[in-house]
Amino acid sequence: MPELPEVEHLRRSLGPHILGARVTSAALHRPDICTHAAPGTPASRALLAGECISATRRLGKQLAIMTPSGRTLCIHLGMSGQLLVNPRTPAGGLTHVHASWELAHPSGTVVRLLFRDPRRFGGLWTFPRADLLDAHWAHIGPDALAITGEHLHRHEGARARPIKSALLDQALLAGVGNIYADEALFRAGLAPQRSGRTLTPDNWHALAATLRTLLAEAVEAGGTTLRDYRDADGRTGNAGAAHAVYGRAGHPCLRCGTTLETAMISQRTTVWCQQCQR
């Protein structure tokens, strides 16, 4: 499922295909996956038909497509969402395509864009003005690529919940999902069930630094290899081999050899090393 690195990699790979192009048509095939900030606007118009694409933005796991008029499309991939550019699969060969666009570049190149999401945990938001995207994002925490120890300490330092739960809370920081939460805690040497109020300022700084490094590495690697993820060019990520704990419960810790533990924390499978994480 896409987390921050996958979405950032997607954003970067999408740029050459969509920036500077005009949306010649847009269609919403499943209205219930889309939230309109301006009800009454035709779906094709809300989905940027007639607009030029001038920029992309990202906060955490959400991707936004911007236009000079301010009309904005925000995309959340959930866990099985894909944004496909010129898929080779013939039309009708893809199931669960909930929205589609046709774009035309000044050069004449035509691009077909599809939003596909089998499990429908993802979705779209449309905004008639860019400031409404900012309002939509106002309740989400700072992006995990730039997270600081000060922020984590200030907002989580007195709380009782397990730090694994905190890392998954998009209001605290944006972009970390189950995989990178476990990986970051392993690298930082912190046990996932530790309460926030037991961490020292140094612990928070180490955790923030680990998150920034880990996520930046994963962005460069093109995101994790998970069954549903493809970038805009249809490629899978290749950071899967780098996972130290995620998906490795019962296997030896890569650092000390101790058998990795697993438990449910916040309804999420959590894997950690009892020896390396305290």
Partner DNA sequence: AGGCGATCCTGAGGGC
Partner DNA sequence: TGCCCTCAGGATCGCC
Report the interface residues with DNA, using CB under 7 A: 1, 3, 60-62, 76, 78-80, 95-96, 118-121, 159-162, 165, 168, 170, 177-179, 227, 246, 266-269
Known active-site residue 6: no
Q: Is the sign of the CA dihedral 158, 162, 267, 83 positive or negative? A: positive
- For the CB of residue 111, give the shortest distance to DNA in the complex, in Å: 25
Known active-site residue 61: yes
- Of 23 and 192, CB closest to DNA: 192
Known active-site residue 8: no
- Of 17 and 187, CB closest to DNA: 187
**Given 45, 112, 212, 268, the catalytic residue:** 268
CA distance 107 to 16: 13
- Sequence-distant (6+) residues with CB within 8 A of 121 are 78, 79, 80, 81
Beta strands at 261-265 and 123-127: parallel, antiparallel or unpaired: unpaired
| CB neighbour burial string for 117-146, b if at least 16 within 10 angstroms, e if fewer | bbeeebbbbbbbebebbeebbeebbbbbbe
Known active-site residue 3: yes
**Given 58, 61, 116, 164, the catalytic residue:** 61
- Of 111 and 192, CB closest to DNA: 192
By annotation, the residues acting in catalysis are 2-3, 61, 268
